[in-house]
């Protein structure tokens, strides 16, 4: 297969952007480094995605750069695989007292990379980046996993793809400090949104609030409950 050659040369990087703090700061940093950035959002049909994608689009609109490409969305419904998983049913959503492991989505990075890596191959992008942080407890976020997946892509479609995790040695507070000048009120971290806003009670909202507090940055996020 001969991939298309985009007008980005070696400067092009696709970013798997969820609309959360980590991937939002990553997009902005790569633009600041002079890279041509192609944000990508994968729709699985999860309960919070409509709100999440709306926030992502608002955040991207705050980054006036000619090197920022329009958001690409990919469809990969998982209802037939996940069944009655809480991420689809919005029932028994992990709350602020649950451990991080409670928010695990089975095969999340396998699913994220399955379509997006092929898109990169077909459009000639040499790098795809994720906002994976230090201490991520899940096996599909390890350096070994990403290396193996990149090798699989090369075998499957004859495209050398680097899977980059520039924040893998940082925690969320450190990432937040690097993005303190951004309009982070347009990012979204919640897994149980209420009327288009953060619920303020779920595991991810609690994580977001701790990060702002630890970074001593004013949290202007709208929470339905605090």
User: Measured in Å, how far apart are the chain's first and last C-alpha atoms?
Assistant: 52
Return the structure tokens found at 157.
């479609």
SS3 191: coil
CA 174-116-111 angle, to 5 degrees, is: 80
Query: CB–CB of 88/79 below 8 Å?
Result: yes
Q: Against a cut of 0.95, is the pTM above it?
A: no
Return the structure tokens found at 150.
């990149």
pLDDT given for residue 2 in this prediction: 46
pLDDT given for residue 9 in this prediction: 56
Q: Is the dihedral of CA 45, 47, 50, 56 positive or negative?
A: negative
C-alpha torsion 174→189→26→125, nearest 10: 150
pLDDT given for residue 99 in this prediction: 87
Return the structure tokens found at 2.
């001969």
pLDDT given for residue 182 in this prediction: 96
pLDDT given for residue 161 in this prediction: 95
Query: CB–CB of 183/59 below 8 Å?
Result: yes
Q: Where are the alpha helices (DSSP H) in 179-219?
A: 203-214
* Low-confidence residues in the chain, pLDDT < 70: 1-10
CA distances to 30, 143, 152, 156, 214 from 163, rounded to whole Å, are 14, 9, 12, 15, 29
Q: Where are the alpha helices (DSSP H) in 124-193?
A: 143-157, 172-178
pLDDT given for residue 90 in this prediction: 76
Spatial separation of the C-alpha atoms in residues 130 and 97, rounded to whole Å: 27
pLDDT given for residue 10 in this prediction: 64
The CATH class of 11-214 is alpha beta
Locus of tokens 């608002």: 58
């Amino acid at each position: 297969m001969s991939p298309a050659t985009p007008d980005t040369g070696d400067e092009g990087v696709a970013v798997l952007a969820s609309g959360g703090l980590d991937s939002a700061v990553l997009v902005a940093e790569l633009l600041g480094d002079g890279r041509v950035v192609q944000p990508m959002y994968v729709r699985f049909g999860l309960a919070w995605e409509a709100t999440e994608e709306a926030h992502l689009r608002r955040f991207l609109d705050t980054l006036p750069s000619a090197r920022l490409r329009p958001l690409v969305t990919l469809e990969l419904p998982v209802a037939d695989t996940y069944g009655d998983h809480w991420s689809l049913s919005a029932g028994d959503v992990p709350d602020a007292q649950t451990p991080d492991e409670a928010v695990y989505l089975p095969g999340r990075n396998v699913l994220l990379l399955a379509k997006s890596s092929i898109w990169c191959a077909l459009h000639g992008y040499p790098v795809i980046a994720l906002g994976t942080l230090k201490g991520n407890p899940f096996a599909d976020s390890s350096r070994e996993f990403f290396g193996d997946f990149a090798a699989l892509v090369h075998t499957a479609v004859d495209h050398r793809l680097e899977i980059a995790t520039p924040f893998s040695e940082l925690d969320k507070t450190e990432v937040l400090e690097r993005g303190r000048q951004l309009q982070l009120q347009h990012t979204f971290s919640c897994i149980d949104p209420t009327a288009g806003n953060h619920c303020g009670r779920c595991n991810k909202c609690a994580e977001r609030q701790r990060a702002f507090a630890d970074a001593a940055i004013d949290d202007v996020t709208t929470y339905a409950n605090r």
